[in-house]
Amino acid sequence: MPEMKTGAEIVWECLVREDVEVAFGYPGGAIMHTYDALEKYPQIHHVLVRHEQGAAHMADGYARATGKVGVAIATSGPGATNMVTGIATAMMDSSPIVCITGQVTTTAIGGDAFQETDVTGVTIPVTKHNYLVTDVKDLAYTIKEAFYIARTGRPGPVLVDIPKDVQIAATEFVYPEDPIELPGYHPPARAANAQVEHALELINNARRPVILAGHGVMLADATQEVLEIAETGSIPITTTLLGAGGIPASHPLNMQMMGMHGEAAANHAIQEADLLLAFGMRFDDRVTGKLASYSPDSKKIHIDIDASELNKNIRVDVGINADLKVVLNQFKPGVKKINRAQWLGKIKDWQEDSSDRDIINADTNGILYGAQAIRDLWLATKDYNPIIVSDVGQHQMLEAQYYHHEKPHTLITSGGLGTMGFSLPAAIGARFGAPDDQEVWVVVGDGSIQMTITELATAVQENSNINICLINNSYLGMVRQWQELFYNARYAETPITGPDFVKLADAYGLPGYRVSKREEIMPTLEKARAHKGPALIEFVVEKHEMVYPMVPAGANLNDMIRRPKA
């Protein structure tokens, strides 16, 4: 016979049945009943964050590290609205999280009650779906449906808003066992035969093809399929920022990242290609440069699980709305083995020109550069395939250029929304999802870390074994770079002060180290690695470091500002 349970208990019962092991949250008046029931469910570890934005980022980091659904919890009003930035970040980057928020009683909704906010209305544009549950009898099914929507098709965030009286009310609890069936929501699988035949004709007739590998390659677990097609057809590959790791960086066909701060060879190849094969990516502006002149002479094949992405920014010749792994397996038997040595040779020439311009190969007169710090981090840790969680700014682009990821899901960063402050809380979440023997490193700037630096307390409280590489150039570096290049070096509000980060680390209860010379990097990294628990390394770097190449906003993809040759 079904047990009577309150709405608060049903929340945790549902999370247990969805195999949730950890939840990130912050209690408050409208969610207090749910927190009061938490002690009955010791199998779920709750992490007390220091700000609700951090809860959403932690759930996001956990989801990206594991492929499971992350869970964040907050109270109504400011608690719920504090999560919106994290929800939008997850939405832009297709990360499956479920956010549970408290709400004022159903009778008070619409009356401007204390800490009332229409959070479902606020989050409509930044969630895959959301719910306001007004009847306790609907709660269990709603939560199960929320998890189903979050994880299937193109993953994304779902919010469930639960009024206080629904949390207090009791009903017979039966967890729905039948599969979820939603009218109109049937994520597709296969491509039509005619689409496959057309695509194969374009692939086999192309002389200068390029594969654009996006985040969807990893979400579809399609790395092997992409490699088999590329190797059979001798097709070079370039990745998006979020696609890093989906193709091993060391693979000879991998040209690395494309776009605004991508590799020059990749951008030149795209512009001169006669065929683009876009796999699980969305042609955003940081990838394309000027849309009107993007890869002007190429045919285009685009495969994506989200139909809305097809022909949204770039018109394509073959648009396939289906599961990428399934479609690539449809392609494989028909891809011909073709020698494209001339095309690959041209790309190699572009790559050699880039090597001549690399700051790593230049004499920096003993001045420490962020690029050097990240390259040495890669050299010190590459054999262990750690998870790198990078923030947003120059250090993010330097990480993408100088840390070479060999395996999927080893780079976690805010790509679409570009959320400063993402990395520290996301790394805490990733730590909970990663195996104990996999290292987790944060790459963050002095501006970014100050947005969510309070989560150091969470890291210490949970003894999260994360290492923080703080790239400190005393500027909002990426904005300063734009000001130098396009605003006549008028550095309006980009010089930024901060605390003594080593002393601050000590105040929070974690070891802090400072590095200002390159020869100090390796021994300091080893000290941090040896410490079991959170540690912070501040790298004091050149203030006016530039990230090259750079495609100016509105420019053609191959019209890059380049670093002079060394």
Instruction: State how beta strands 170-173 and 3-6 pair.
Output: antiparallel
Among positive and negative, which fits the CA dihedral 274, 280, 283, 285? Answer: negative
**Cα–Cα distance measured from residue 62 to residue 64, given in angstroms and rounded to the nearest whole number:** 6
Return the bridge partners of 163, or none: 103
Is 478 an annotated catalytic residue?
yes
Separation between Cα atoms, residue 507 and residue 501, nearest integer Å: 10
Residue 194: count of CB within 10 angstroms of its CB: 9
Helices (H), 358-451: 370-381, 394-402, 423-433, 446-449
Catalytic residue list contains 455: no
Residue of 114, 197, 336, 517 with catalytic role: 114
Tokens of 341: 């040595």
Which of 58, 92, 478, 560 does the annotation list as catalytic? 478
266 near 258, Cβ under 8 Å?
yes
Are 327 and 222 contacting, i.e. CB atoms less than 8 angstroms apart? no
Name the helix (H) or strand (E) containing 389.
Answer: strand 387-390
Comparing CA positions, the residue from 443, 455, 342 lying closest to residue 57 is 455
The answer to whether 101 and 27 are in contact (CB under 8 A) is no
Please, what's the b/e burial string for 423-457 (b: 16 or more CB within 10 A of its CB; e: otherwise)?
Answer: bbbbbbbbbbbbeeebbbbbbbbbbbbbbbbebbb
Q: Is 114 a catalytic residue?
A: yes
C-alpha dist (Å) from residue 34 to 12, 106, 172, 481, 541: 8, 16, 17, 47, 47
- Find the helix or strand (DSSP H, E) in which 34 lies: helix 32-36
Rounded Cα gap, residues 198 and 21, in angstroms: 46
Q: Residue 475 — φ and ψ, nearest 5°?
A: -140, 160
Identify the burial level of 347 via C-beta atoms within 10 angstroms of its C-beta, where 0-12 means exposed, 13-18 middle and 19 or more buried: buried
Cα 102 → chain centroid:
27
Planar angle of CA 249, 254, 255, nearest 5 degrees: 105
What whole-number distance in Å separates Cα of residue 298 and Cα of residue 271? 8
Among all residues, which ones are annotated catalytic?
52, 114-115, 164, 478
